[in-house]
Amino acid sequence: MRVCPTGATYRTETYTAVDSRLCIACKLCMIVCPFGAVHIGTVRINGHSKPAAVKCDLCVERAGGPACLAACPTRVLSLETPQAVMNEAIQDSAKRYLAAIQAQGQAATTINSTVKGDLS
């Protein structure tokens, strides 16, 4: 996350990670996390305890993926990429917007245009 003053939080291709060694427990990542997935806990580094941001790392070291997915008795948990979640949210938002316009009796029109050639 860009908000971290020490660079302790960073994004990989599939999740946001925390490097506890760099974390100063300022809580900025907690404030900006839209999922409430970050908290401050006590971690041990080189035999010493210190407060640091802690969050799920999706069991990146586990061959079978996140343990919570395998352990969920009802199988309601799933793993989605951040881009897939954003795409779904955008589509849902657009559908609700069009439905609201149509409910007001207005025409819901979209315009698609393709520019060909030089416009100068």
Residue 38 belongs to what H/E stretch?
A: none
Q: Which of 36, 28, 35, 20 is nearest to 82 (CA)?
A: 35
Residue 2 belongs to what H/E stretch?
A: none
Q: For residue 31, give the 3-state DSSP assignment.
A: helix
Residue 40 has pLDDT above 90, yes or no: yes
Report the pLDDT value the prediction gives residue 51, as an integer from 0 to 100: 97
Give buried/exposed letters for 57-75 (b at 16+ CB in 10 A, else e): ebeeeeeeebeeeeeeeee
Percent of the chain at pLDDT > 70 equals 87
**pLDDT band at residue 120 using 50, 70 and 90 as cut-offs:** very low
Residue 61 has pLDDT above 60, yes or no: yes
The partner residues of 10 in beta bridges, in order of sequence, read: 17
Residue 108 has φ and ψ, to the nearest 5°, of -100, 105
